[in-house]
Every structure is written in C-alpha cells, then in structure tokens.
Amino acid sequence: MYNSDIPSRAELPTSRQLLRSTLIAIVAALAILITIVLPAEYNIDPTGVGRVLGLAQMGEIKVQLAEEAERDRQMDQNSTVLAPGSSLFGRVFAALVVSPASAQTASRQDVTTLTLTPGQGAEIKLVMKAGAKADYSWTVAGGVVNFDTHGDGGGKSISYEKGRAVPGDDGVLEAAFDGNHGWFWRNRGSADVTLTLKTSGAYAEIKRTD
C-alpha cells in the first residue's frame, strides 16, 4: 500500500554525526550573535566585524534612542506643572497674584546660530516671567535634529513639546512660571548641521546653558 522505502540503520546518522551537527549549529549561532546581533541591537562589537558591516552604527543609534526615551519618560514623571490657562483657577490666580508691572518685560528680538557635530547637543533658554510670550522659529540646514522644548526654575520643570528627526519648528512659547524656558537639540545624523533660532517677545535674556 505504501511505496516509500524505510531507511536502513546504516543510512541513519550516527550519534557522532548528530553531535557534530549540533556543535556546528551552536558555533554558527554564537558567530551570528557576536558579529551581527550584538552590534546591531546593543552596540556591542567585540570582534569589530559589526563596525565594518555598518551594524555597530545601527546599534549605537538604537542605544541612543533608548536613552532619550528613558530621559523623556523621567522628564514626564517630573513634570508636575500644568501649562498656563489649563484651568480657570490658574487664570484667576495669575491675574490676582502677578502684578502687571512684574509680568511685563521689554520686548526684544534675537537671532542665534550654532553648529552641531554628529552626536552633539545644545540648549538655549529664554529668561521669562510667568505668562510671558515669545514668538520663535528655528530651522536646520544640512540635516535634522531631535528636540525638547521645556522649562525650569524655582524647583519646577515642564515639557512643552518634543520631536525626533525634525528639520525645524515655529510657534509661541508661553512661560508657565518664572524661570528659563527654551529648547534642547541633538544632532543624531552623520554630518554637521547648522541651526538658526529666531526669537522675539517678552524675555529678559537669551543664553546657552548646555
């Protein structure tokens, strides 16, 4: 009824052959792990093969992105301040407590240009009073950057906006409290980029804090 031949005992692999095949598979798996998986996933390249193949750079980017994600998570946990105008109580409190004289700051304009090498970060902050506003726009020539718009001062911190691989941004920055408010950028590309920041509005000072 069945035409298939049953292999004889002589045709079956011996224990020695099976052991040898198993050892070869283990060695091949270890080679792939060391030369491909570790460089590409964890930026660990003990043999140098991963960098030659370009996998180490991939692993470095993944590790950097993981570190940035962890930094973003910690900043989100530490950000306990709500943006101004988020509640009726906040608006009433600001109107009653902050006097018009203290809230007003002479308007100014600035243009700041900086160059970021691969992997380099930079931070620029505006010294602002609570409720003060500043128009801004920034552009990147030669690539893109990751950014985090945030503020800190008086033991408070807040994150306004974040982005990855962005060529530019613009808008209005409204200070949630007295302190330093601005941007952190990092160049994750392989070439230098030039970033130009234009600001105008109610802030007392602009400074680089990195």
Through-space distance between the first and last CA atoms of the chain, rounded to whole angstroms? 82
What structural domains and CATH numbers belong to the chain? Answer: 15-73 (no CATH), 107-209 (2.60.120.510)
User: Which structure tokens are listed for 80?
Assistant: 């306990």
* Contact criterion met (CB below 8 Å) for 182 and 138: no
Q: What is the pLDDT of residue 33?
A: 80
Q: What is the mean pLDDT of each run of 10 residues along the chain (210 residues)?
A: 58 78 86 78 75 67 72 63 47 49 69 97 97 97 97 96 96 97 97 98 94
pLDDT at residue 189, as a whole number: 95
Mark out the alpha helices in 10-83 (DSSP H runs): 15-32, 38-42, 49-52, 55-78
CA distance 24 to 12: 19
Beta bridge partners of 109: 200
Q: Supply the pTM of this predicted model.
A: 0.53
Q: What pLDDT is stored for residue 10 in this prediction?
A: 59
pLDDT at 85: 46
Distance from C-alpha of 205 to C-alpha of 200, rounded to nearest angstrom: 11
Residue 26 carries which side chain, given as an amino acid letter?
I
CA distances from 47 to 37, 43, 50 (A): 12, 12, 7
Structure tokens, 12: 């079956």
DSSP states of 111-171 as a string? EEEEEE-TT-EEEEEEEE-TT-EEEEEEEEESS-EEEEEEEEETTEEEEEEEEEEESEEEE
What is the number of alpha carbons within 13 Å of residue 164 lying toward its C-beta? 8
pLDDT in the model for residue 82? 42
Amino acid 103: pLDDT: 44
